């Protein structure tokens, strides 16, 4: 058996600890370690690191129950996308697509009646894929100006945010061939966020949501959809849809404060 | 419509891997919401493109490849648009946290280990994105080197060399930290930095 050099042992130390090398090489490393305190010390340091990484793994949370439910739900409603169409969708940058096809928004197609799941899915895809144009501003006038330049029919920007929320900015997102415009808020004293959409057309599953509360002649309906909560209410001649990453009660609170 | 046998197998794979996928996503993003989004989007994309998947290959590395690509796309997008608002700031460990006192005065080993782990996480933050991916893919999941190679679409030897290079950097950082907190003597040897042309193979 040829003796192994320190460089080789050092190079293979991670694979050695992970049991990812063949038996002969493993024996040669063990043989070397018996007579080399420097490599033993290095291996101990590597082992310390591996132990720490295992603890970090133990700290990492498993998938929450609501995420499992959402993924199961996705499987029931999502059909396979043809390859070429999928490739086209991922190749086109959202802004280029908007320029090429003109600004297409829900309001341009009154027949586009979407369900809460569409908004939640879009909300998630924008964040993951980053396929969005965003403007950071807490100035409603600046946001309104941005909307007028980029999307002729966008959610109206209130002069002041709902009590307890901070205006973060606006997003123009593109997903699945649809463009979605939203106003972004964040809780004053928390990390929870909410995206406020608006559509002049009807909202497919609005009537399926239970009525949580009704104020000012508006009906707020709320229902969980995936990992987010959704509230919807009629206003501005259409329907507002709020998608948040917080519990139903909080999204209803947001809705009530927005009325 | 009845699900085909392969659909059922894929659905079962989701169920088997979801915890590990979520841990991997969390380890990359350190943010609960982003981890959930990444996991759900990974499964969604996998489900959508299941018809074009190579049925002869295990779906497991494929799922991690999708998640890895999603994550790197997300990072690239964030780098490309620095002037835009980041609505979803990741909660990262504080690398500038005060150092712990020397080990001899630390009675709570768990607290020390927690600080050590935070130091490791902070060190991982400083790695290149590709290095973070390979470290987390190996550490947070049960993937073997061969499966990681399939997920990263590279030879096993490349996985080994990337892991070695990344972990040596982490080890250097940990050794430095250990000296600061007094569990290593200042005259103990520095870990050897790997050179770029080092290739691991057995």
CA–CA dist B64, B60 (Å, integer): 7
Min distance A48 CA to chain B CA atoms (Å): 9
Residue with tokens 């973060």: A168
Partner-chain contact B120 A245, CB within 8 Å: no
Min distance B105 CA to chain A CA atoms (Å): 20
Partner-chain contact A59 B117, CB within 8 Å: yes
pLDDT at A176: 56
Q: What is the pLDDT of residues A103-113, one digit of tens each?
A: 333 333 333 55
pLDDT at B134: 94
SS3 at position B83:
coil
CA–CA dist A36, A50 (Å, integer): 21
Pairs of CB atoms within 8 A across A/B: 178
Partner-chain contact B26 A61, CB within 8 Å: yes
pLDDT at A79: 45
| CB-based contacts of A121, cutoff 8 Å, min separation 6 | A175, A176, A226, B44
SS (H, E, C) chain A: CCCCCHHHHHHHHHHHHCCCCCHHHHHHHHHHHHHCHHHHHHHHHHHHHHHHHHHHHHHCCCCCHHHHHHHHHHHHHCCCCCHHHHHHHHHCCHHHHHHHHCCCCHHHCCCCCECHHHHHHHHHHHHHHCCEEEEECCCHHHHHHHHHHHCCCCCCCCCCCCCCEEEEEEEEEEECCEEEEEEEEEECCCCCEEEEEEECCCECCHHHCCEEEEECCEEEEEEEECCEEEEEEEECCEEEEEEECCCHHHHHHHHHHHC
Residue B19: band (very low, low, confident or very high) from pLDDT cuts 50, 70, 90: very high
Q: What is the pLDDT of residues A24-34, one digit of tens each?
A: 899 999 999 99
Chain A CB contacts of B38 below 8 Å: 128
Burial class (CB in 10 A: 0-12, 13-18, 19+), B72: middle
Taking the Cβ of residue B30 and every Cβ of chain A, the question of whether any pair is shorter than 8 Å is answered with: no
Average pLDDT over residues B97-111: 45
Q: Which of A80-89, A198-207, B12-21, B106-115 has the lowest mean pLDDT?
A: A80-89
Chain B CB contacts of A228 below 8 Å: none
SS3 at position B95:
coil
Q: What is the pLDDT of residues A174-216, one digit of tens each?
A: 655 566 778 888 887 766 778 888 777 666 666 666 565 555 4
How far CA B63 is from CA of A32, A77, B27, in Å, comes to: 39, 20, 16
Pairing assessment for the beta strands A218-225 and A228-235 based on DSSP bridges: antiparallel
pLDDT at A130: 53
| A positions 204-243 inside 8 Å of B (CB) | 226-227
Min distance A163 CA to chain B CA atoms (Å): 19
pLDDT at A174: 62
Partner-chain contact A124 B50, CB within 8 Å: no
Taking the Cβ of residue A52 and every Cβ of chain B, the question of whether any pair is shorter than 8 Å is answered with: yes
CA–CA dist B73, A217 (Å, integer): 45
Residue in A25, A54, A128 closest to B41 by CB: A128
Q: What is the pLDDT of residues B26-85, one digit of tens each?
A: 999 888 888 988 898 898 888 888 877 777 788 899 999 999 999 988 887 766 554 433
Partner-chain contact A12 B11, CB within 8 Å: no
Average pLDDT over residues A136-144: 82
Of A226 and B137, the one with more pLDDT: B137
Chain A CB contacts of B164 below 8 Å: 11-15
CA–CA dist A257, A209 (Å, integer): 19
Chain A CB contacts of B21 below 8 Å: 63
pLDDT at B155: 93
Residue B123: both structure tokens together: 């060190």
Give chain B's mean pLDDT: 75
Partner-chain contact A128 B22, CB within 8 Å: no
Q: Which of B11, B84, B87 to mutate to test the interface with A (most CBs of A within 10 A)?
A: B87
Residue A94: band (very low, low, confident or very high) from pLDDT cuts 50, 70, 90: very low
Partner-chain contact B48 A41, CB within 8 Å: no
Q: Which long-range contacts (CB under 8 A, 24 or more apart) does B4-10 make?
A: B6/B50, B6/B55, B7/B50, B9/B59, B10/B46, B10/B47, B10/B50, B10/B53, B10/B59
pLDDT at B96: 33
Nearest residue in A to B163, CA atom = A14
Nearest residue in B to A93, CA atom = B77
Kindly report the pTM of this predicted structure. Answer: 0.59
Max intra-chain CA distance, chain B:
69
Taking the Cβ of residue B188 and every Cβ of chain A, the question of whether any pair is shorter than 8 Å is answered with: yes
Give the ipTM of the model, two decimals please. Answer: 0.75
Residue A207: both structure tokens together: 């009537």
Partner-chain contact A129 B88, CB within 8 Å: no
pLDDT at B14: 85
Give chain A's mean pLDDT: 70
Residue A137: band (very low, low, confident or very high) from pLDDT cuts 50, 70, 90: confident
Min distance A138 CA to chain B CA atoms (Å): 11
Exposure string of A48-62, with b = 16+ CB inside 10 Å and e = fewer, is bbbebbebbbeebee
Residue A115: band (very low, low, confident or very high) from pLDDT cuts 50, 70, 90: low
CA–CA dist B27, A76 (Å, integer): 28
| CB-based contacts of B21, cutoff 8 Å, min separation 6 | A63, B39, B42, B43, B63, B64, B67, B141
| A positions 169-208 inside 8 Å of B (CB) | 169, 184, 186, 193
How far CA A43 is from CA of A152, A203, B191, in Å, comes to: 63, 61, 10
Residue with tokens 């600061």: B180
- On the question of pLDDT at A87 being above 50, the answer is no
Q: What is the pLDDT of residues B160-193, one digit of tens each?
A: 999 999 999 998 888 777 777 666 555 555 555 4
pLDDT at B147: 94
Of B148 and A208, the one with more pLDDT: B148
Partner-chain contact B139 A53, CB within 8 Å: yes
Tell me the range of A145-149, B4-8, B129-133 where mean pLDDT is highest.
B129-133
Taking the Cβ of residue A134 and every Cβ of chain B, the question of whether any pair is shorter than 8 Å is answered with: yes
How far CA A253 is from CA of A77, A119, A166, A207, in Å, comes to: 30, 19, 14, 19
CB–CB of B36/B22 below 8 Å?
Answer: yes
Residue in B84, B120, B200 closest to A136 by CB: B84
Partner-chain contact B52 A71, CB within 8 Å: no
Residue in A12, A13, A74 closest to B40 by CB: A74
Q: What is the pLDDT of residues A125-136, one digit of tens each?
A: 555 555 556 777
* DSSP structure class, residue B89: -
């Amino acid at each position: 058996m040829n003796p192994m050099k320190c460089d080789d042992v050092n190079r293979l130390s991670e694979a050695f600890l992970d049991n990812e090398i063949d038996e002969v090489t493993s024996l040669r490393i063990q043989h070397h370690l018996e007579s080399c305190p420097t490599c033993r010390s290095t291996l101990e340091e590597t082992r310390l690191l591996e132990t720490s990484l295992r603890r970090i793994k133990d700290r990492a949370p498993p998938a929450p129950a609501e995420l499992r439910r959402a993924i199961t739900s996705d499987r029931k409603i999502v059909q396979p996308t043809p390859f070429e169409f999928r490739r086209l969708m991922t190749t086109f940058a959202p802004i280029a697509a908007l320029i090429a096809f003109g600004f297409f928004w829900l309001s341009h197609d009154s027949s586009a009646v979407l369900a809460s799941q569409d908004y939640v899915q879009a909300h998630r895809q924008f964040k993951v894929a980053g396929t969005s144009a965003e403007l950071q501003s807490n100035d409603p006038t600046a946001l309104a100006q941005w909307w007028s330049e980029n999307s002729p029919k966008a959610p109206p920007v209130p002069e002041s945010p709902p009590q307890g929320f901070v205006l973060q900015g606006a997003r123009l997102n593109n997903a699945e061939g649809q463009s979605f415009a939203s106003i972004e808020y964040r809780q004053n004293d928390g990390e929870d966020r909410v995206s406020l959409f608006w559509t002049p057309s009807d909202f497919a599953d609005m009537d399926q949501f239970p009525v949580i509360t009704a104020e000012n002649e508006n009906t707020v309906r709320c229902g969980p959809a995936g990992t987010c909560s959704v509230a919807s209410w009629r206003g501005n001649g259409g329907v507002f849809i709020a998608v948040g990453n917080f519990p139903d009660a909080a999204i209803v609170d947001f809705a009530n404060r927005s009325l | 419509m009845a699900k085909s046998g392969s659909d059922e197998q894929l659905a079962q794979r989701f169920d088997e891997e979801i915890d590990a996928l979520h841990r991997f996503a969390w380890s990359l993003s350190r943010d609960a919401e982003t981890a959930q989004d990444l996991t759900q989007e990974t499964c969604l994309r996998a489900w959508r493109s299941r018809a074009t998947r190579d049925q002869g290959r295990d779906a497991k590395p494929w799922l991690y490849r999708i998640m890895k690509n999603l994550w790197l796309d997300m990072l690239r997008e964030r780098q490309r648009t620095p002037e835009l608002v980041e609505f979803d700031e990741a909660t990262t460990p504080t690398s500038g946290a005060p150092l712990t006192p020397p080990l001899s005065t630390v009675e709570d080993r768990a607290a020390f280990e927690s600080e050590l782990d935070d130091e490791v996480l902070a060190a991982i933050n400083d790695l290149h994105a590709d290095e973070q991916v390979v470290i987390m893919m190996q550490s947070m999941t049960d993937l073997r080197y061969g499966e990681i190679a399939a997920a990263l679409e590279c030879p096993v030897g490349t996985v080994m060399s990337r892991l070695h290079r990344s972990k040596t950097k982490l080890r250097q950082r940990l050794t430095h930290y250990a000296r600061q907190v007094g569990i290593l003597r200042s005259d103990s040897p520095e870990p050897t930095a790997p050179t770029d042309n080092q290739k691991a193979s057995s």
